[in-house]
Chain A
Amino acid sequence: MESNRFDLVVIGAGIAGLTAAALATAESRKVALVSIGVGSLAQESCTMGPRQLEALPAEDDLDRAIGFFQEMCASAGCAFDGDRAQVCQLPTLMGSLQPAVLASRTVLNSALRAEQPTLIAGIGGLSGFDAQFLAEQLNRAAHTLDATPVFSATRIALPIALGIPVTAVRMAQAFDRDAAFRELFAASLHSAAKGFARVLLPGVLGLYSTDAQLAEFERMAGCQLGELPTLPPSIPGLRLYNRLIEHLRAQGIEFFAGYPVNQLEIADGVCTSVSIASPGRSHRLRAGAVILASSVGCRALLKGELDVDQYQRPINAQHVPVAHNLFAGCTDGKPGAHARTPAGRILAGYCAAANVCARKEEYAAR
């Protein structure tokens, strides 16, 4: 019978860990994903600007990694749209425009479009999203880019108890669970959006909603919808996380959430197991290979700064890999450099998993 043995154990369920776990699963490996809580996606929605991508090495790998990530998102029902060659301007909550190339579909939908009248809709009771302020600031920002000011502001009221105070999280939860809420919401948008092809909203469109559900909601509202992520947690980021976790678990990944890894067992240059600090006693996972995809976790487990060799394996002071089957999914290939951007993390996770899979016989669990 099957048990706690895995071909690959991935530590960290941020964007790097998710990418690594997905690639190994796609290559038919038995994968365990270990994480303390929600990864980086709770704080950011993974939007990528052109400079992030330019700063990264390994052109071919980067294209493959981004392509793989987009495919994974599409099959998880949380499309991650965009094209590296096409730079657009995304509005932020502070009323600035940021260049971006890749983002979640609803986030990318908010991009500045010349000559397209766009309505920014605040929601009654929801603080931290001032539509009037945003419209003024964005029109000014558009003007400095020599674009026509296209933004107008409105505020919609939802005749439904959303809690006190109304938060983006609560709205997203109501969006997920309550069909009556979605209908009221869509109807308010429908009447507010007359004369506009597109409405920009604070990011509240569900923590679990799929592309199909969002498309249906747009149809009900009668306009295209763009989301601006609000203060953390980022609802579009959490949605991406939740959809990807659900997708990966459906693919057979074993997911250990909530407790940190407290030990890597390394003997004779091979990492044989990963111990999770679960209640009572450590839960030991036997590992064919291990990817460290958490920069905090990496430092704690390896007790020091991280340098890697050309296969992304952490190395010691003598430049020898700590273990032959231990990879860092949190550095973007350059020794000592942590992957600081979403694109860098996707690349790091992808390359680490590709290295594991390339050494199939060597690392497959016995």
Chain B
Amino acid sequence: MRPDSFELDNCLKCSVCNAACPVYAVHPGYPGPKHLGPELERLRLEGIATDTQWLEYCLGCHRCDLACPHQVGVSEMIARAKAHHPKPFTRALRDWWFARPGLLGKLTTIVPFVSNFFLRLKPVRWIMSKSMHITPKRRFPAYTRPTLRSSTNNRAERVLFFPGCFLTYNRPDLGRKVLELLERNGVAAELVSTGCCGVPAQANGEESLARDQAARHLAAMDEKLQSGMSVLTACASCGYQLKSGFGGLLAEDAKLASAAQRLAAQSYDLAEFLLERADKGKLDSAVHPIGRRVAYHAPCHSNAQGIGHPWMQLLRQIPGLKVEEVDAGCCGMSGTYGFKQEKYDVSMRVGQGIIDRLHILQPEQVATECATCQMQIEHGTGLPTVHPLEILLEAYNGEAI
């Protein structure tokens, strides 16, 4: 992707983006990334009104960007236009909540068991579907008290850990596993608890909220970044946002933009970080064998980081573990997208490729580092789905988790 002003002229209309688009493949009405991106962008730049409901149907998977032979930032154009797309009140209300998973987390975890109880009740789900267009066909992930804390021990090397909303409010146990994995390798992690990374805000058309969130994170982290500390994420979408999202959001403020650049340069996916330690011979390689067949699904936002498949490389090092890659495209969940009633069918049709492939592979377990990919795969196949770090930690500890 080439972020310069000439990029529109780089579009030769070859339609390779359409061929890569998961929504174009399953929805006959969707005009495709070529039309919603560069084609309409020409008109938008001229100030001609081109608003269309289809902007909302972009998954934000970045597959068009990665496939484009001329490095046009197709999905960015769509995302910018999406932010100005007006929605009817009930959907706007829903998207207001979906843009704020942190707030949702804070409220639901005041008394988590009550929230979980209510969110699972059929009448409640029916009311949510009627009043807010949230599909009753999916279950919300269980909420739990935000008990994740920084490492307390005094390791030589310290890093920042950006847990994101899911690890904070739904899976603090998974967050603790991240810390355990790091401690095992001589690294102490300090928690960055400034909330949501901003991907849900942008996906739901709230650019200014995402901008505020970005500025808040930078204010909290910048001093430590300047001292050279790395920032780790265990969520593909948070990771992609830290690496590539803040710079664009804060481009108008030179000071914040340079802080965003610093953050981008010092952000690592957990596996990327571990693999880099392996390079320096600093990764504990004392792993126990695990006799199991695992299918690994690479989330779109992990692909978009341009770092290959570091989790796949790490999992392959575990003796006895048979790892196969799913390699069947996008899962279709895309964070809050799959929860939206009008998009549920599209989401499931996109995910069908992975579901079919998993039926052929018949793994005992699926591994993927994105929380909502996990939800979609479990929803579509019923297969137990975990974060790959859980398998790695299991191999370190030599026992089932």
Contact A278 B313 (CB under 8 A): no
Select one of B25, B69, B304, B307 contacting A42, CB under 8 A.
B69
Contact A162 B28 (CB under 8 A): yes
Q: In the complex the two chains form, what is the Cα distance from A162 to B303 in whole Å?
A: 29
* Segment at the interface with B among A139-147, A165-173, A326-334: A165-173
From residue 157 to 214 of chain B, which have CB atoms closer than 8 A to chain A? Answer: none
Q: In the complex the two chains form, what is the Cα distance from A257 to B325 in whole Å?
A: 16
Cβ-based interface call for B244 (8 A): yes
Contact A258 B304 (CB under 8 A): yes
Chain A residue contacts of B309, Cβ below 8 A: 254
Shortest distance in angstroms between B349's beta carbon and chain A's nearest beta carbon? 8
Cβ-based interface call for A249 (8 A): yes
Cβ-based interface call for B228 (8 A): no
Select one of A161, A238, A277 contacting B28, CB under 8 A.
A161
Cβ-based interface call for B18 (8 A): yes
Chain B residue contacts of A161, Cβ below 8 A: 28
Knowing A170-B28, A281-B265, say if A207 contacts B19 (CB, 8 Å). Answer: yes
From residue 163 to 197 of chain A, which have CB atoms closer than 8 A to chain B? Answer: 163-164, 167, 169-170, 172-174, 176-177
A276's closest neighbor in chain B, by CB? B306
Contact B243 A3 (CB under 8 A): no
* Segment at the interface with B among A33-41, A89-97, A316-324, A351-359: A33-41
Q: In the complex the two chains form, what is the Cα distance from A42 to B16 in whole Å?
A: 7
Cβ-based interface call for A159 (8 A): no
Chain B residue contacts of A246, Cβ below 8 A: 327
Cβ-based interface call for A68 (8 A): no
B2's closest neighbor in chain A, by CB? A260
Cβ-based interface call for B316 (8 A): yes
5 extra A-B contacts, CB within 8 A, seeds A170-B28, A172-B19, A258-B62: A177-B352, A254-B308, A257-B66, A281-B266, A283-B308
Cβ-based interface call for A2 (8 A): yes
From residue 63 to 77 of chain B, which have CB atoms closer than 8 A to chain A? Answer: 65-71
Contact B306 A43 (CB under 8 A): no
Q: Chain B CB within 10 Å — which of A3, A163, A246, A255 has the most?
A: A3
Cβ-based interface call for A259 (8 A): yes
Cβ-based interface call for B264 (8 A): yes
Cβ-based interface call for A304 (8 A): no
Chain A residue contacts of B240, Cβ below 8 A: 279
Contact A169 B71 (CB under 8 A): no
Select one of B25, B275, B303 contacting A3, CB under 8 A.
B275
A238's closest neighbor in chain B, by CB? B19
Chain B residue contacts of A258, Cβ below 8 A: 1, 62, 65-67, 303-304, 306
Chain B residue contacts of A280, Cβ below 8 A: 242-244, 264-265, 267, 305
Cβ-based interface call for A232 (8 A): yes
Shortest distance in angstroms between B23's beta carbon and chain A's nearest beta carbon? 10
Chain A residue contacts of B68, Cβ below 8 A: 36-37
Contact A163 B18 (CB under 8 A): no
Chain B residue contacts of A177, Cβ below 8 A: 25-26, 349, 352-353
Contact B313 A37 (CB under 8 A): no
Contact B305 A3 (CB under 8 A): no
Select one of A38, A207, A277 contacting B69, CB under 8 A.
A38
Q: Chain A CB within 10 Å — which of B19, B70, B309 has the most?
A: B19
Q: Number of A interface residues, CB 8 Å?
A: 44
Chain A residue contacts of B47, Cβ below 8 A: none
A245's closest neighbor in chain B, by CB? B327
Select one of B27, B243, B278 contacting A1, CB under 8 A.
B278
Contact with A along B282-304 (1 / 0, CB 8 A): 01010000000000000000011
Cβ-based interface call for B396 (8 A): no
Q: Number of B interface residues, CB 8 Å?
A: 51
Q: In the complex the two chains form, what is the Cα distance from A257 to B69 in whole Å?
A: 10
6 sampled A-B residue pairs with Cβ under 8 A:
A4-B279, A164-B29, A258-B67, A259-B306, A281-B265, A283-B306
Cβ-based interface call for A233 (8 A): yes
Q: In the complex the two chains form, what is the Cα distance from A125 to B113 in whole Å?
A: 55
A39's closest neighbor in chain B, by CB? B69
Cβ-based interface call for A256 (8 A): yes
Contact A279 B243 (CB under 8 A): yes
Contact with A along B234-272 (1 / 0, CB 8 A): 000000101110000000000000000000111100000
Shortest distance in angstroms between B380's beta carbon and chain A's nearest beta carbon? 15
Cβ-based interface call for B24 (8 A): yes
Cβ-based interface call for B9 (8 A): no
Shortest distance in angstroms between B198's beta carbon and chain A's nearest beta carbon? 15
Select one of A173, A233, A278 contacting B305, CB under 8 A.
A278
Select one of A2, A4, A37 contacting B67, CB under 8 A.
A37
Q: In the complex the two chains form, what is the Cα distance from A286 to B143 in whole Å?
A: 43
Q: In the complex the two chains form, what is the Cα distance from A311 to B166 in whole Å?
A: 54
Cβ-based interface call for B317 (8 A): yes
Shortest distance in angstroms between B41's beta carbon and chain A's nearest beta carbon? 18
Select one of A4, A36, A233, A278 contacting B14, CB under 8 A.
A233
Knowing A249-B327, A278-B305, say if A2 contacts B14 (CB, 8 Å). Answer: no
Shortest distance in angstroms between B68's beta carbon and chain A's nearest beta carbon? 5
Contact A4 B15 (CB under 8 A): no
Chain A residue contacts of B96, Cβ below 8 A: none
Chain A residue contacts of B243, Cβ below 8 A: 278-280
Knowing A232-B15, A249-B327, A254-B308, say if A2 contacts B313 (CB, 8 Å). Answer: yes
Shortest distance in angstroms between B300's beta carbon and chain A's nearest beta carbon? 11
Q: In the complex the two chains form, what is the Cα distance from A259 to B65 in whole Å?
A: 9
Q: In the complex the two chains form, what is the Cα distance from A2 to B69 in whole Å?
A: 30
Cβ-based interface call for B276 (8 A): yes
Select one of B18, B67, B327 contacting A167, CB under 8 A.
B18
Cβ-based interface call for B126 (8 A): no
A161's closest neighbor in chain B, by CB? B28
Contact B69 A279 (CB under 8 A): no
Chain A residue contacts of B279, Cβ below 8 A: 3-5
A170's closest neighbor in chain B, by CB? B24
Cβ-based interface call for B30 (8 A): yes
A36's closest neighbor in chain B, by CB? B71
Shortest distance in angstroms between A360's beta carbon and chain B's nearest beta carbon? 23
Contact A257 B303 (CB under 8 A): yes
Q: In the complex the two chains form, what is the Cα distance from A257 to B243 in whole Å?
A: 17
Chain A residue contacts of B16, Cβ below 8 A: 37-38, 42, 233, 238
Q: In the complex the two chains form, what is the Cα distance from A36 to B313 in whole Å?
A: 22
Contact with B along A1-29 (1 / 0, CB 8 A): 11111000000000000000000000000
